[in-house]
Amino acid sequence: MTDNQSFIHQDKPISSKADDFLGRNYFSENLAKSILSWKHKESWVVALTGKWGSGKTSIKNLVIQHINDKNKDMIILDFSPWEWSSQDLITQAFFDELEKKLIIKNRKIALDFVDYKNFTLKKSNFRNLKFLDLKKLKKIKNLPLNIIRIILLSLHNISTVLYEPIIKLLPVFGTGILISPIIDDSLKKHFLYVFLSLFILGSISNIYQYFYAKTNSLRDNKNNLSKSLINIKHPILIIFDDLDRLNKSQLESLMQLIKSNLDFNNLIFFLLYSKEVVEEKLTDNSQKGVDYLQKIIQYEVTTPIIEDFELRQVIVNNFDMFMNDLNVKNKKDIAKPEDFQRIINGVLNYLIDMRAIYRFFNSYRFNLTSLVNNHHLEVNAIDFMALETIRLFEPELFESIKSNGSFLTGQPYFERTGKIAESNEVKEEIDSFRKINISLKNATLLEYMFPILTDYSDRTKLKNLKISSAEKFDNYFIYSSSKTKISSYDVELIKNDLSNDTNSVTIIDNYFSSTKRTSLLAQIYMLAKELNNIEKSNLVVALSHLFQKTNSTLSISSERQNLLLLVDNLISSIDEVDIKITTFNNLNHANIHSYILMFLINSLEKYKNGLSDVQISEITQSTLNKIKHYIQVDYDKFIADEYSRSMYFFFQKHDSKYAKAFFTVQLNDERTFKSTLSIFIGNFGVIGSEAIDASSLFTIIEESKFKTLLNRFLIKNPDDKFINNVSYLYSKRIFDT
């Protein structure tokens, strides 16, 4: 395609044989030959019918080109009646346009046509330019009369050119001149003289117009025009395009215009329209549209059927051209030939003509280009092609897809419904969706986009950038680069910096601190599959630094829980023992919360396939030392930490002797007694808890000693709410037991 881009964007018919990619040229050439062969005969009405978008105007343009190639002298009027607002304007415009063509090609016919036009439009009393007919002057032998006729004709034409516009401007400018106090009286007199002269010219023009129009009857003028038309070498081709765009009254008026001129020779009317549309508009109580057209149309041809292989080639060419022009760096991820071949038949179910293809590619280009971010496309181009087809031609299905993203991307049943699925419930869900939404027309596209619809147990097809990937699904519905989502370009930046431990911490922290925080962890899940061991190790450390910045809720699907699971999965996927040990050592030496290390150590059992007991012991001891240091350096901060209870249990499990000695001192110290008690109250130190963890507390201190310390503190601080609550919980414990 030489100019494929403009061809698609402008949605216009082809204008030359070089642009014909649907094999219309041969058909158009034969039609042009038929028109050229119609000489010295009565008028002929040819109709080219076809649905909207079937290429009627393109065929017309090719017919005109073939005619011009063979006969440049043929008069062709290509008229678009739908550009005019009323039936009167359509008739007037038609005669005016034909007059212009005739003046250029054949002056004699033009003179006869003007007279005929004036009678047809009842314009004998309207101002029109008149042409000097030398033949009529020769018939009149009286020289003075000829001179008078020439003078009157000249004055009439001058009046026609000058009189009307000045009269129209008079109310605005003339009144202003006459009443203005700053304009000289002599200027006003001159203005009046000019106006009087124009008035006299107009009167002479009216007299001339009256007598000139009365020289012949309508029949005389029509006969004169018929004789002129009979003698021309080639017929006049009058083309009426887009008749189906006219309203009922406009269409009826135009058909009447054609009928009233059918008795002229060497006129060929070439009509282009959608047959069903025009027949419906011409149907009323008195007649059927099809019968009406049969009285006028003498020869009807239908636009050739566009074969699927032709449409397929147009789609392929346009897609290839667009992808070649698309300036992105991740082309290998966004458009695979085998995927294109899988959906092309499904797309052809909707793109059934050139207009549909124009419409599709205009939309596809615009929306897909808007999803390019820093030279990275955020979606799969083939998936987006399938979805855009659905959006344009099945909008209700599009909305159904949009609202069922969690289901179509394979999100677990429990996360979607809040309950455990029965053995067949997921399959029933899929069957229900298929029954409501899938048809023979859209099945190819839907089953390609969402593998779950064909095999609900298969998750291997949920690839990066695909619409069936839960992390990417939303990208297909924003049609613009999102400020809140990690883009493919962002992922590339992160990946490039993960080879350096310092850079990895910085870039992860920057993204997490930005508006793209929400989607960071989801995208890293996808990125992790592409990383080597060193990059995974650096990513683990970088993510661990985010622990204190996440929300503190450790519920399922919370931000912090997702972070912990991601770090756990990353370490599990490191398959080199040395790098795995280095990762734990880096975590222990980095400024991160000890809880994340404890969380990982509690999962060490699943790492044993790569780590020895000695190595696990060393990692555990290193974490324990970090917690000991934390407690010893800043005990008040440790006690206030929301994870103090977890760290205490870790401390007690791996060094119970030291833990007992240390916390016994804290409980016996009046300054730290109250704060230390928070470790043994409920879960994570929540005061509103219903119990004291007595089993843990009384391994540190004897119950009698604790009772004494509690009473002593309560006596000194009778209004302390925390101690009163502890006393209540302790009393409740004794009562319950």
Domain map (residue ranges) of the chain:
24-101+228-302, 125-213, 308-477, 483-633, 634-737
Identify the pLDDT of residue 250.
82
CB under 8 Å, gap of 24 or more: what pairs does 584-587 form? 584/619, 584/622, 585/619, 585/622, 586/501, 586/537, 586/541, 587/540, 587/541, 587/544
- Lowest mean per-residue pLDDT among 226-230, 279-283, 550-554: 550-554
- Lowest mean per-residue pLDDT among 348-362, 540-554, 667-681: 540-554
Residue-wise pLDDT tens digits, 138-187: 555 566 766 766 776 676 666 666 655 655 555 555 555 555 566 666 76
DSSP assignment letter at 681? B
CA distance 344 to 308: 11
Place of tokens 């006028």: 296
CA distance 227 to 232: 9
CA distance 32 to 64: 7
- Give the homologous superfamily in CATH for domain 24-101+228-302: P-loop containing nucleotide triphosphate hydrolases (3.40.50.300)
Whether the Cβ atoms of residue 266 and residue 259 lie closer than 8 Å to each other: no
Collect all residues with Cβ–Cβ distance below 8 Å to 452 and sequence separation of at least 6. 407, 408, 409, 410, 430, 458, 468
Place of tokens 């039936």: 87
CA distance 357 to 11: 9
If you average pLDDT over each of 22-26, 330-334, 521-525, 646-650, which comes out highest?
646-650
Residue-wise pLDDT tens digits, 263-304: 777 788 899 999 899 999 999 888 898 888 888 888 888 888
- Strand 299-302 with 372-373, pairing: unpaired
3-state secondary structure of 237: strand
- Lowest mean per-residue pLDDT among 210-224, 579-593, 707-721: 210-224
Q: What is the mean pLDDT of residues 228-240?
A: 79
Predicted structure pTM score: 0.53
For the chain, count helices (H), then strands (E).
Answer: 38, 7
DSSP secondary structure string, 81-120?
A: GGGSSSHHHHHHHHHHHHHHHHHHH-HHHHHHHHHHHHHH
Q: What is the mean pLDDT of residues 365-389?
A: 87
What token pair was written down for 463? 């690839």
- Strand 44-49 with 267-273, pairing: parallel
Identify the pLDDT of residue 388.
93
If you average pLDDT over each of 129-133, 672-676, 686-690, which comes out highest?
672-676
